[in-house]
Structure 1
Amino acid sequence: MIKIKNEKELNYYIEKYKLNNIFEKDIKKYMELHFFKKGEHIYRCDENINYFYFLVKGRAKVYTISKNGKALLLRFYKPCEIIGDIEIIQEIEKERNKFYSCNVESLDNTIWIGISFDNMKKHVKDDIKFLKYISKSLAYKLCQLGNSSVLNLLYPLENRLASYILALTYDTNSNKDIIEIEMCKLKDIAELLGSSYRHLLRTINALSDKKIIERKRNYIKILDGKKLEDLAGDIYK
């Protein structure tokens, strides 16, 4: 994580997403801009967390890891979603530290507005306007979690893979038709999508046979974005 010392850029995102409107008082002086590079974790399950975050640029994925070590993709985050809301409400503490319940990882280079948990507790913990805002956020996440659970169980891997590939195209600084996927990471992707490695390979080959994607050694090229979007639908959104 890199802290960005740029007040003009901070003001731009505050104004763009009307963040001051969700608080009863101006807390801009407690806001910080944080940059996370692609693949970097913002939160890790059961690790200390120090900031409440608004995602203001880029996209992140949220996944959980079960006790048997298996990972499962829950959903993707886009601007201007928040993380840390559950922890603020529950005030999860252990030896005076707070822990996050899932993993949040940058899909591309992301920018977040962070407010330290100490400042959140001091200045907005009892802010009725803010509490209403995160109550709506929690209700939305609850609905999305239910949808994700159903989709992971009922949707074929072909649909889930299409959604995942499209999510990886979000970085506007890259060629949206070419997705770099290291072959060694396919096992991780299979796990995230609740599949076996072999089933994932068969599904990639099936999409290739349909001329929807083209698989190369270290990347996947999208040949028919419309068909891929049709397959993806609203999965993981």
Structure 2
Amino acid sequence: MRKINDPDALSNLMNAHQLSGLFDEKTVAAMELFAFDKGEIVCTVDDRLDHLFMLVKGKIKIYRVLPNGKSILIRFYNPLSTIGDLEMLTDLTVRNTVESVNDTLFIGIHQQALADTAHQDPGFLRFIIKHLSHKLHTFLTASSLNLLYPVETRFASYLVSITVDENDQAQIEEIKAAKLTEIAELLGTSYRHLNRVISQFASAGLVERSRGSLYVKDINQLKKLANGNLYS
């Protein structure tokens, strides 16, 4: 994590996400800009966050490590999303691991500054309620996806979620073969089963295997296969 001292960049990002005018001046004055590198952990289980983070650039992955050591994917977040709002309101420790999928930027507000300013700010509280409501809705969707849908649907959803950017623009996504074991675990299946699904997708022209990597080829067909059930 790196703190970026660039007031102009902070102001531009606030304008881009329509945050300007939403909070009072004291809350805005307490905001800082933070950068995380691709693959960097933002927070993990049992951490105590000292900042509320608002994702304003990039994509993050939320997953839970189970008592048996395995992991399960919860969802992906695109801008504008919040990390630490539940912990801020309840004084709970972090329940899931948050990982930066690519280079990300967050606007952060220190917990003490929140207590001194934003907790009494109606605009800020409405903002938090809106994002908590969205999280509840999408968590229910992700839970249904993990419990009720076949691996083909879950993997299609995973590919769509990592391939579509925050502006809903499709990108050609590369997945290294070495990550497939990790992906299988996140999707609650075995590497062998996932490999069979990849072979099916490759035969159908949805993905392509080349030199130890997997490439998304037909994002529209993957969206149809996911049938609106996405991890993002």
- State TM-score, norm by structure 2: 0.90
Question: Do structure 1's residue 75 and structure 2's residue 75 form an aligned pair?
Answer: yes
Aligned to 2:98: 104
Q: 1:125 to 1:178 in 2, by over 3 A?
A: closer
- Residue 74 of structure 1 deviates from its aligned partner by 1.0
RMSD, matched Cα: 1.9
Q: Any conservation in 2 of the 1:52–1:83 contact (CA below 8 Å)?
A: yes
CA distance in 2, matches of 1:87, 1:226: 37
Match of 1:180 among 156, 175, 182: 175
Q: Which runs of 5+ in 2 are unaligned?
A: none
Correspondence for 2:113: 119
Deviations 1:160-187 (A, max 9, x none): 2122223333469xx9324132x33221
Q: Which amino acid aligns with 1:119?
A: A
Secondary structure in structure 2 of the residue aligned to 1:72? strand
- Say whether 1:235 aligns with 2:225: no
Task: Give how far 1:26 is off.
Answer: 4.1
Q: In the TM superposition, what is the alpha-carbon distance from 1:126 to its structure 2 partner?
A: 2.9
Change (3 A) 1:194 1:50: same
Task: Quote how far apart the aligned CAs of 1:211 are.
Answer: 1.4
Give the letter aligned to residue 135 of structure 1: I
The reply on whether 1:50 has 2:50 as its aligned counterpart is yes
The one-letter code of the counterpart of 1:209 is S
1: distance between equivalents of 2:28 and 2:123?
16
Of 142, 145, 155 in structure 2, the residue corresponding to residue 161 of structure 1 is: 155
Checking the alignment, whether the CA contact within 8 Å between 1:55 and 1:82 is kept in structure 2 is yes
Paired residues of 1:20 and 1:27 also in contact (CA < 8 A):
no
Distance 2:138 2:25 in 1: 30
Structure 1 match to 2:136: 142
TM-score normalized by the length of structure 1? 0.89
**Quick one: which amino acid aligns to residue 195 of structure 2?**
L
Q: CA deviation at 1:225?
A: 2.4
Matched positions, count: 228
Tell me, what secondary structure is at the counterpart of 1:161?
helix
On the 8 A contact 1:63/1:75 being kept in 2, the answer is yes
